Amino acid sequence: MMQKKQRMNLREALPLAGITVSTFIFCTSEFMPVALLTDIALSFSVTESQAGMLISVYAWMVMLLSLPLMIAASRIGFRRLFLIIVALFAFGQLLSSLATSYFMLMAARIVVACAHAIFWSIAPPMAVRVVSEDHRHMALGMVVMGESVALIAGLPLGRVIGLALGWRMTFACVAIITVIIFIYLYFVLPIIPATKPFSVRRLPVLFKTKTLRSLYLFVGVMMTAYYMCYSYIEPYLLQSVGLEEQTVTVVIAFFGVAGILGSVLFSKIYARQRVKFLCGCLLGLVTAFFVLFISQEFLIGVLGACVVLGMGSTAMNAALQSEVIRYSSLDDQAVATSIFSAIFNFGIGSGSALGGVVTSCVSVGSIGAAAGALGLVAFLYCVIVLIPRLRIART
């Protein structure tokens, strides 16, 4: 007879809630320019493609800094390190709100990227370490849900504040909220000892795991495809679909609503059907890309595609992070996750840059077709290479 799982106690729930809310605010900040792209471009008299580089450069800095910063910080206890990066994040948001030029805003975003580079390296491992083993999948699902809620409430709310009071006020509000989160975390985060300091000489050992290598390559290609589309969803909805400003805000919120459903499905299904779950997410995403391309005059089709994109991306992100943790040792999890974060952000930056090229050279309405084509490449790689390796049980 199976033992009934014990309910999560307050000692586990309070720090997990803090990590989840931190994820919400970090993700709100990361993708804030997506919801404010047009206003930022107008404010500094730059094109939407140039404004989109705020997303690309941010992501590339996270990519470049994730591994070296995590290795440098591997001697610091997780609690202390988490508080440091939250404080740095708040400082970067304050600088963003005070930016008086495009390049000053870019510099402020790089400060935020330094905090973000370490955040995604330790947030998932921290979430699974503050709870018991029975609740680890739920904990990881909660972290991913923070990202989904950012899409539901964070980005639309940021957009509303930006339209009403200016985009600088949006960044200022994020800074204030982050200070409140810092105070909460200071009192509820338990002491989590640092793992064994990571040496660069152990990197080749980490990369000897074929499954990790396959996961990393897949993440780079698929995230490039996804963010080629998602980074320009606001101008796509405004220009190609012809929606009003307020309606665009609602549609962007659809991503987050669907994302919560995706995180719930991950918590309920993934542990029992790992491979089928991942394949289903991937197939849904590739289909939704092409639907965006062919359904520009049909709002129902566009909304349906947005729901699938929000649900599929959130669920797949959680599944991929879980696989990275599964195939890395306890001492290597933070660094393995930092590599995942670096490659994930490579995909964000590359996708945003390629989406800008498609937007400038073809049209913003073609981003779905371009993303779908690259998504098909990722799908073939997943079926031929990644899935057979994931089917092999870890010994």
What does the alpha-carbon distance between residue 310 and residue 261 come to, in Å, rounded to a whole number?
9
Q: In sequence order, which ranges of 242-298 are alpha helices (DSSP H)?
A: 245-269, 274-294
Domains of the chain: 11-390 (1.20.1250.20)
What does the alpha-carbon distance between residue 285 and residue 366 come to, in Å, rounded to a whole number?
16
What does the alpha-carbon distance between residue 57 and residue 350 come to, in Å, rounded to a whole number?
9
Read off the pLDDT of residues 15-66 as tens digits, 9 standing for 90 and up. Answer: 999 999 998 888 888 767 766 777 888 888 888 778 878 877 887 888 888 7
Read off the pLDDT of residues 174-220 as tens digits, 9 standing for 90 and up. Answer: 899 999 999 999 999 988 766 666 666 667 767 777 888 899 999 99
User: How confident is the model at residue 336, as a pLDDT?
Assistant: 81
Q: What b/e string do you get for 288-301 counting C-beta neighbours within 10 Å, with b at 16 or more?
A: bbbbbbebbeeeeb
Read off the pLDDT of residues 303-351 as tens digits, 9 standing for 90 and up. Answer: 889 889 988 988 888 888 888 878 877 667 777 877 887 888 788 888 8
What does the alpha-carbon distance between residue 216 and residue 320 come to, in Å, rounded to a whole number?
9
